[in-house]
Amino acid sequence: MTEQSSVPAEEPVTTVAFVLYPGLTPLDMVGPLQVFGALSELVPGYRTVVVGERIEPMDSDVPVQLVPSHTFEDMPDPYALIVPGGFRPTLAAMADEGLLQRLREAAARSQVVGSVCTGSLLLGAAGLLEGREATSHWMYRDLLARFGATPVTRRWVEDGPVITAAGVSAGIDMALHLVDRLAGHEAARTVQLVLEYDPEPPLGPVDWTPVDAGAFVSFAQENLRTALTGHPGLLARLTA
């Protein structure tokens, strides 16, 4: 009789992968990354990875560099793929077909595809938002319609397997929502407590009533023109 192996089977691991590319806004990634990092410390069976083209330092839009933990090739199959945003470098990345193809391939292996801020524009450019509701940074939210999405003004928007968050800090809210869905309400509340995420901005909450979004149109379009120099087709599609 053959003796049965006594080696226990490995427990399944739920992986959340964040995409790193040059010039992104660090808080778009690090905020939700910290949420899932806390989850992996508190609850067995979760891990976070940061993926990029190469494992080397990449500039961000502030004076700090970030290094991915994995390349796209050696990334474990993720449960969730999260794409951070930024400003001009992210707008320029809409024309980076290599990155967009990486996103398509990774999204096909994921159960959830998410974004923070203008990261949703990269999802849109990759063809992943067609027919879905989505949000983004308020200054660029309407551009989602050019990619076949329906822009929605909410802190985060969930449509099927896709979840998009509004500007910067909204990524933390989205991440806590996903933790709640994955690990339960008590785990999400514990993560929130450990991170002491209880925002009380000194100037109070944003008052959207007097905000004149139209006053920022020329600024937003100038960013697009600068970022997409050399890509007149895409620029025309987004500024027509």
Catalytic residues: 117
CA distance 136 to 186: 28
- CB count in 10 Å sphere of residue 156: 22
Amino acid occupying residue 216: F
Distance CA(84)–CA(163), nearest Å, equals 12
Residues 89, 23 contacting (CB under 8 angstroms): yes
For 132, phi then psi, to 5°, come to -115, 155
For 212, the token pair is 């004149």
Q: Which ranges of 113-194 does DSSP label H, i.e. alpha helix?
A: 119-125, 170-183, 185-194
| Structure tokens belonging to residue 126 | 């990759």
Residues 6+ apart with CB under 8 A from 56: 67
- Print the SS3 string covering 72-92: CCCCCCCCEEEECCCCHHHHH
